[in-house]
Amino acid sequence: MTQVGPSQSVNRPRVVIVDDHEMFRAGVRHEIGPAVEIVAEAGDVDSAVAAIKQTRPDLVLLDVHLPGGGGTEVIKRVQARQPDTKFLALSVSDVAEDVIGVIRAGARGYVTKSISGPELVEAIDRVATGDAVFSPRLAGFVLDAFSGAIDLASVDEELDRLSAREREVLRLIARGYSYREIARELFISVKTVETHVSSVLRKLQLSNRHQLAQWANARKLV
Amino acid sequence: MDHSPAAMPRPHTPAGEVSAQAVPLVDIAASLEPDPSDLAAAEAVKPSGPVARPTEGAWLGGVCQALDDRLGWPTVVTRLIFLVLSLWLFAGVAIYGVLWLVWPQAKAEPAIGLAAASRAGYRPVQRAKGPPSLAVGASLTVYGLGAAFLMRWYGERWAGWEALGWIPRHSFALLGICLGGALIWRRWDQRGRQPRAAAGWVTLGRAGLGALLAVGPMVGTIWLDDGWTTASKVLGVGAATLVLALLLAGPWLLHPDVWGAEREERAIGQTRADMAAHLHDSVLQTLAMIQRQAADPKAVAALARHQERELRQWLYGDVADEASLTAQLKATAAEIEDAYGVPIDIVTVGDAALTPPLDALVRAAREAILNAAKHSGAPRIDVYAEVGDETTEVFVRDRGRGFDAAAVGEDRMGIRGSILDRMHRHGGVVGLRSSLGEGTEVRLEMAR
C-alpha cells in the first residue's frame, strides 16, 4: 500500500463527505483535508445523491444514520446510475444490523467515527483503489454471522462459507492486526490479504443465506 | 473496534526487521486436558429462554421457524408435518393456530437510539414483515377446530367421503367468519405501526369487507338450511343488536383517541423525564468534569471515552446476559479502561455461559489487560474473544514497549500466578509473544 501523506498531491482521491453533523464534517475535513480532495459535502440523503451525481467523486464517506432513509438509501440510489462510486461507511452506533446492512447495500468498508485521522486517510485510500476495509468490529460481526451450520435451503453454498484462510485473516483483523501485520503473520503479501478481505466482502454482499438477516435480528435478543 | 486495521502506528521498527525479533506465540503449557466436570457445565447460551416466533422469513406466523430454532428440524420438514396433519380433521391448522397464539412473536425491540433513528428516518425503513397478527392465529384456531367439528358432525351423519361434498356450505360460513374477523381485528394488532393518515377510509373499508365476509355466508347458510323466514329473522335480530351496540359505543366511536391519546401523552412525558434525568446524571456531569480538567488531555480523553461507552450502551446496547463470558469480559475491560485511561477495544464472537474454567479465563484475561494497561505504555489495547465449538480463546494485544518473553522471571507474579497458574488449573493454555519495542500479545485458550 502506498503511504499517503500531506506531501502527495497527485492522484488525491476525490471525496464527498456525507454526514448530518456539521461539526463532525468539519472535524473530518480538517483531518483528512491535506490528503484527499474534498469535492462536496452533504447532510441528508437527497442532497448527498445530488452532490454525488454532480461531482462524480472517487469515494463517498458515508454516515450510516442519515435523514431521509440512512446511508443505505444513498448507496441504492447512486449505484443505479453510477455503479463505480465507492462508499466507505462511518458510524457511531456500531450496531450489527446497520453495519451489515450498509455493507450489503454496497459499501466497501466500515469504520467507526472515533477512527484517527491517519487511519481514516489510509482506509479511504484503500477503498478508493478498490479494496475493502474492515474494522475489527466488522470482522467480528462477519465471523459471527458466518459461523454455525449452513442452511440446507441455501442455494449458493460456496457463498455461504468462508475459506479457512479468509477466516484466519478475519480473526487477525478482529485481533487488531493491520493488513501489513497479517501479511507478515501468514507469510503472504499485503496484496493477498486485500484479496481475501475483498472476497469476504463479496460473500457478505452476495450470500443470500437468510441467517444473515436473522442473525442480525436475533443478536439483540441474546 | 474504533479503527481501521489498515493503518496502525508502527513505531521504531521498519516492517522487515520485526519478525526476526518476535518470539513465536509459544504455548507455555500444552496441557489441554479438560476437567470433565467443567466440560459438562459448559453450555452454550443460545437455546434458552422461551420459544418465540421469528418474523424474518416466516410464511405465516413463524411457528415452523420457531420449531426449527428450538428442535433443529428444517422448516421444510415441519411445514410438511403441519400440511399432513391438516389432512386429518384440520388438526394441523388448529395446532398451528394454537401455537401461534401461545408462542409470543420474537420481539425485535430495538435499542432506544436505533428506535429514535428509525422514527426520524435516519435508517432504512424496516417494513413490518409478514402478518404477525394474533387475530390471524386466533382465526386459524377457530377455523381448524370448527372445521374439524363440522367434519366429525357430518362424518357421523353421512359416513366417509360423502360428507366432504356437504361440508363446503357450512365451512364456507365458518371460513367467512374467520376471515372477516381476522380482517377487522388485524387492524388492532397493527396500530401504531402505520401512519395515522392511513386510517379512516381504509379502516372503514376493511371493517365493511370483514363484516360482509362474516355475515354473508352465515346468513346464506341459514337461508339454505332453514329457509328465508328464519334467515330474515336472524338478520333482523342482528341489525337490532348492531344498533344497540352502536348506541352504547357511540361516545368512544366519536372520540376514539381520548383515552389512548391521554395515556400515550403521559407515557411520553414520563419517558422524557427519565431521559432528562439520565442525561443529567451522565452527560452533563461528564461535561462539567471535562471542563474542570481541561488542562489534562489524558483525563479529558478518559472521561470522554467513559461517557461514550456508557451512552453507547444506553442508546444502542444489547441487554447481554450478565453471567455470560462476553458480558464479564466487557465489564472487566471497562473497569480497567476507567482505572488506567487506556482505550480498550473489545471484539467478541459467540458467547457462552460463565463456567468455572471460563471464569478463570476471564480473570486471566483481566490480568493480561491489566499488565498491558500498566506496563506497555501502548495507546490502545485490543481484546478479541472467540467462543468456538471446542475451545474459547481470548487474545490481548498491545503495541507497547514489550519485553523479553524468555526472561520472564519467577518474580513476575502477575504473569506467573494470575495468568499461567490460573489457566493451568483448569486445563487451559497460555501463549505469550512479545518483543521489545513491538508490543505484546497474550493468547488464552480454554476448552469449553
- For residue B22, the model assigns a pLDDT of 39
- For residue B190, the model assigns a pLDDT of 53
Q: Say whether A1 and B6 touch across the interface (CB within 8 A).
A: yes
Asked if the model's pLDDT at residue B16 lies above 60, the reply is no
Looking at residue B78, its amino acid is: T
Asked if the model's pLDDT at residue B428 lies above 50, the reply is yes
Asked if the model's pLDDT at residue B9 lies above 80, the reply is no
- For residue B225, the model assigns a pLDDT of 76
Q: Say whether A94 and B1 touch across the interface (CB within 8 A).
A: yes
Question: Is the domain of A55 the same as that of A153?
Answer: no
Nearest to B136 by CA among B179, B102, B106, B82: B179
Q: What is the pLDDT along chain A (222 residues), one digit of tens a residue?
A: 444 444 444 578 889 999 988 888 888 888 888 888 888 888 888 898 999 988 889 999 999 888 888 888 899 888 888 888 899 998 877 777 788 888 888 899 998 887 888 889 989 988 988 888 888 888 988 888 777 544 434 445 556 678 888 889 999 999 989 888 999 999 999 999 999 999 888 888 876 655 555 555 555 433
Per the structure, how many domains does chain A have?
2
- For residue B188, the model assigns a pLDDT of 58
Asked if the model's pLDDT at residue B302 lies above 80, the reply is yes
Asked if the model's pLDDT at residue B395 lies above 90, the reply is yes
Question: Is the domain of A112 the same as that of A155?
Answer: no
Question: Is the domain of A42 the same as that of A118?
Answer: yes
Question: Is the domain of A90 the same as that of A55?
Answer: yes
Asked if the model's pLDDT at residue B348 lies above 70, the reply is yes
Percent of chain B with pLDDT over 70: 68
Comparison of pLDDT for A222 and B145, the residue scoring more: B145
Q: Say whether B124 and A72 touch across the interface (CB within 8 A).
A: yes
Nearest to A174 by CA among A195, A210, A144: A144
CA distance B56 to chain A (A): 6
Last residue of a domain, one of A70, A96, A130: A130
Comparison of pLDDT for B386 and B136, the residue scoring more: B386
State the Cα–Cα distance between residues A116 and B314, nearest whole angstrom: 24
Q: Which residues are paired to A62 by β-bridges?
A: A18, A89
- CB within 8 Å of chain B, chain A residues 127-156: 133-137, 139-140, 143-144, 147, 152-153
- Residues of chain B in contact with residue A92, where contact means CB-CB under 8 angstroms, are 312
Asked if the model's pLDDT at residue B361 lies above 80, the reply is yes
Element (H, E) at A42: strand A37-42
Q: Say whether A119 and B123 touch across the interface (CB within 8 A).
A: no
| CATH number given to B1-45+322-448 | 3.30.565.10
Percent of chain B with pLDDT over 90: 5
Question: Is the domain of A166 the same as that of A198?
Answer: yes
Nearest chain A residue to B116, by CA? A65
Looking at residue B218, its amino acid is: M
Long-range contacts: B55-58, Cβ < 8 Å, 24+?
A: B55/A217, B55/B105, B55/B106, B55/B108, B55/B128, B55/B129, B55/B130, B55/B132, B56/A210, B56/A213, B56/A214, B56/A217, B56/B129, B57/A210, B57/A213, B57/A214, B58/B129, B58/B130, B58/B132
Looking at residue B243, its amino acid is: V
Asked if the model's pLDDT at residue B195 lies above 60, the reply is no
Q: Which three cell numbers stand for residue A98?
A: 446497520
Answer yes or no: is A3 within a domain: no
ipTM of the complex: 0.80
Q: Which three cell numbers stand for residue B29?
A: 503449557
- For residue B153, the model assigns a pLDDT of 67
Check: CB of residue A171 under 8 Å from CB of residue A140.
no
Q: Say whether A98 and B384 touch across the interface (CB within 8 A).
A: no
Question: Is the domain of A165 the same as that of A69?
Answer: no
Question: Is the domain of A19 the same as that of A110?
Answer: yes
- For residue A59, the model assigns a pLDDT of 92
Across the range B254-264, mean pLDDT stands at 66
Q: What is chain B's alpha carbon radius of gyration, rounded to the nearest angstrom?
A: 32
Element (H, E) at A41: strand A37-42
Q: Say whether B3 and A144 touch across the interface (CB within 8 A).
A: no
State the Cα–Cα distance between residues B286 and B185, nearest whole angstrom: 49
Per-residue buried b or exposed e for A49-75, using 16+ beta carbons within 10 Å of the residue's own CB: bebbeeeebbbbbbbbbbbbbbbbbbb
- CB count within 10 Å of CB A13 equals 21
- Residues of chain B in contact with residue A135, where contact means CB-CB under 8 angstroms, are 1-5
A56: DSSP letter: -
Q: Tens digit of pLDDT for each residue in B265-277? A: 777 877 788 888 8
Asked if the model's pLDDT at residue B38 lies above 60, the reply is no
Alpha-carbon distance values, A100 to A87, A175, B124 (Å): 14, 19, 13
| CATH label of the domain that carries residue A46 | 3.40.50.2300
- For residue A170, the model assigns a pLDDT of 92
Question: Is the domain of A122 the same as that of A152?
Answer: no
- Where do the domains of chain B lie? 1-45+322-448, 63-263, 264-320
**Probe site for chain B from A66, A72, A93, A129 (most B CB atoms < 10 A):** A93
Alpha-carbon distance values, A124 to A51, A90, A218 (Å): 18, 11, 32
Nearest to A88 by CA among A119, A46, A67: A119
- For residue A188, the model assigns a pLDDT of 92
Question: Is the domain of A95 the same as that of A149?
Answer: no
Question: Is the domain of A98 the same as that of A186?
Answer: no
Q: Which residues are paired to B208 by β-bridges?
A: none
pLDDT band at B136 (very low <50, low <70, confident <90, very high): confident
Alpha-carbon distance values, A3 to A120, A126, B7, B35, B423 (Å): 13, 10, 10, 51, 42
Domain that holds residue A184: 140-219
pLDDT band at B365 (very low <50, low <70, confident <90, very high): very high
Question: Is the domain of A109 the same as that of A25?
Answer: yes
Last residue of a domain, one of A130, A151, A172: A130
Q: Say whether A173 and B5 touch across the interface (CB within 8 A).
A: yes
Across the range B394-411, mean pLDDT stands at 76
Check: CB of residue B75 under 8 Å from CB of residue B65.
yes
Q: Tens digit of pLDDT for each residue in B49-108? A: 567 776 656 667 777 777 777 777 777 788 888 877 777 667 777 788 888 777 776 665
Answer yes or no: is A178 within a domain: yes
Q: Say whether A94 and B316 touch across the interface (CB within 8 A).
A: yes
- Residues of chain B in contact with residue A147, where contact means CB-CB under 8 angstroms, are 349-350
Q: Tens digit of pLDDT for each residue in B205-237? A: 777 888 888 788 778 877 877 778 888 888 888
Answer yes or no: is A206 within a domain: yes
Last residue of a domain, one of A130, A152, A184: A130
Across the range B178-196, mean pLDDT stands at 62
Alpha-carbon distance values, B165 to B154, B162, B221, B388 (Å): 10, 6, 15, 58
Across the range B177-193, mean pLDDT stands at 66
Average pLDDT, chain B: 73
Across the range B33-57, mean pLDDT stands at 49
- For residue B186, the model assigns a pLDDT of 66
Across the range B331-344, mean pLDDT stands at 88
